[in-house]
Every structure is written in structure tokens, then in C-alpha cells.
Structure 1
Amino acid sequence: MEGYTADDLDRIPDLPPHTELIDGSLILVSPQKLFHSLVVDMLVNALRAVAPRVGYRVVREMSVVLDQKQRPEPDVAVVHAAAVTDRAATWYPAEAVVLAVEVVSPESAVRDRKRKPQLYAEAGIPYLWRVEEAEGAPVVYAYERDPATQSYGLLGIFHDRVVLKVPFEIDIDLTEIDRM
């Protein structure tokens, strides 16, 4: 087997934090810009506030094992609460993830816009949000997986407020970023 495997990420000494595995290759993450950090914080807090306490947990920057050659790290994920049992865990299985959120950075734009959505959909993750920056403000592109095609269809594009019924009732004020 060529390339690295999902298990290798926990075995290779001195890997930088947040190293991802995409197509068997190690991806070293660049330092985050303030916008990226603020959006992640805002979405973690907002999703924790609206996610049903029974059944779901919101986590940040935890990798997801999609298969032996794929272990990306969504910026935010909503996972089934039953998967959150080991505080020493370094990853979640794909079937535990309900929603993956990627905040697009210039150096990861192609991965965040194309490759990761493809991998998440193929792995069966029901919902994906891609967050872009437009004039300093977050824009959320929300997708739902079509099980027949194993690809995502657009649910909506949200500029000031995310209002969705799936995977649970969601109402998030994106302008909160201006008050962080």
C-alpha cells in the first residue's frame, strides 16, 4: 500500500497539529487567519446553542476517518453524542458525523471546495457547510447529501442568517462575527 494511512497520523512522531490525510498524502495546515478563527468560534458556539442536547455534540478541529487513505479535519463538526465516549480520542468515524463545516482559506480553497465535499459525500456524511469570506463577512453554503448519487445538493446560500430545518432547527446570526 502506497502513501500514508489514517492510523499513521497517530503514530508519526512530531507531526504538526491539525495535519490531515487526503488521498494518502499528509497535508500540513497553514496558520489560521483571524477571520477563520472567529468564524469557527462563532459557529461552534451557535451550533452548541441550537443542537439538541440529547443526541448531538459539536466539536472543533477533530479529524474524521473516511477510509484508510482519507482523514480530513473539518473546522467544525456535529457528531452523534454516542460517538463522544473517549476523551482521549483523536478522530471520529465518518458514520458519527452529521454535519461537517469547512471554512475556506486561500491555501486550502481547492481542497475545501472540491475534494473534501466529494470525500465527505462518498463517506455518507449527510450535511456539509462551506463557509467563504465575502467583504469580511461569512457566507455559508449549505449542502445535503443525495444518497442515490453520493453527492451534495445545495440547500441554500446564507449571508446574514442561517435558517435551516436540517439536521435540526437552526437559526444562526452570522453578523455576530462583528461582535466577537
Structure 2
Amino acid sequence: MNRLSADYSHRDSDWDRLVEIFEKTDAPEGCKTEIVEGIVTVAPLPSNAHNFIADCVQRPLYSVIPDDWGICQRLGVVVPSRDSLFVPDLVVIGIEVLRAEGGYTVPAEAAALIVEITSPTNARQDRTRKADVYCHAGVPLYLLIDGWDPAGPTITLYGEPKNGVYRVLRAGRFGDPVRLPDPFGLELATDEFPGRA
């Protein structure tokens, strides 16, 4: 079943039109195209610093996840009820979901952890809209790595989604370790994260 058109009970034609625009968007190779609450957006290639941070998060995660989980970069996650299709920097998800879903996307609620690393073009969306949509989808953990926070580079771990609101489980600055709770049980070092990724 194609998740771009499934599980969307109201305004099916609106979602279908958004998906059609998304699929026909001719963005330069490597750019990230998303649907953010009904608006198709295109973001440029991430910087090397951005990719370095993604690698700093991904490597230690492999040491704690079960063999039947994977860590995906650039995997589309959909929340049709919120008119959204995002391409997070990292998604930790069960391998069986990847095998079962056809196409290029998975339902956001299947993710165990979603990681977004801000850039100048998407920082505001990652802080507000994506946090809201991931929460409403029931994503258990959302890690926001924000090198573009006006107060300085920050890391925020959101969790325990309830009634459309995430609880902030940990907030700190680059350099502060971040403890990812079970099922990860991992203390993530952030001292090598470059600012303004």
C-alpha cells in the first residue's frame, strides 16, 4: 500500500494534489523536498558540518539498537492527517517496516527516534512545525540539534507525547551530553558538534 495516499480519511483529493506536486517537483539533485503542513518546500544540500553531526549521532546509535532496527538518512516519513511529508536527517526504525512499505516513505508513527539537524533554511520549521507534527504522529523521541538557535547552539530531546504535546526530556548546549532513554540507554556526546552546521 502506498503510504502517500493511505490512512487519510478527510480531504483525500487535497492530499493527492499535494503528493502530485511533491512528486513532480524538479528540485536539483541532492536537495530535500518535503511537504510541511500542506506546503511543498525545497531545501539545499546540507553542509559538511551538518553531515558530520549526523555521523556523530548515527555511529553510537548502531552500538545500542537491535539487529532488526535500522538507521536511515533521507527517509521520507508521512503524517497525512497533518498534510506533512518530512525527510529527517536520521530515522531509527524497524527493518520490517522498511521491507513492508513500498515506495519512498514510511508512516512517521513507526519511527522509534527522529533526529533533525537545523540549517539556516529549516531551523524554524524543525523547532516548531516538525516538533508539533511528530508529536501528533506519536513519535516517541524527537532529537533536535539546533546550531542556529539565536541563543547559541542547543540540543533538545523531546519525548512522552501526550495530548499533542511533547515533554522536554533534556535541553542543553553543544558540548553537554544527552542521555537517550530506553530503548536506547545511550549517553550521546556532543562536544565535537560544530556550531552553525
Q: Counterpart of 2:44 in 1: which secondary structure?
A: coil
Matched residue, 1:166: 182
Tell me the residue number matched to 2:26. Answer: 14
Q: Give the percent of matched residue pairs that are identical in Structure 1 and Structure 2.
A: 25
Alignment partner, residue 142 of structure 1: 157
- 1:126 aligned to 2:126? no
Residue equivalent to 1:52: 66
1:142 aligned partner, one-letter code: L
Contact 1:6 1:70 in 2 (8 A): no
The 3 A distance-change label for structure 1 pair 31 and 124 is: same
Per-residue CA deviations over 1:3-53 (Å, capped at 9, x if unaligned) read: 7434653x4263444200112221101232222111112212221222222
TM-score by length of 2: 0.76
How large is the Cα RMSD of the aligned pairs?
2.7
Structure 2 stretches lacking a partner, 5+ long: 1-12
Q: Separation in 2 of the partners of 1:109 and 1:78?
A: 21
Amino acid at match of 2:157: A
Say if 1:6 and 1:65, in contact at 8 Å, map to a contact too: no
| TM-score, normalization by structure 1 | 0.82
The question of whether the paired residues in 2 share the 8 Å contact of 1:44 and 1:60 is answered with no
* 1:13–1:108 distance in 2 versus 1, CA, 3 Å: closer
* More displaced 10-residue stretch of structure 1: 106-115 or 45-54: 45-54
How many aligned positions are there?
174
2: distance between equivalents of 1:2 and 1:81?
31
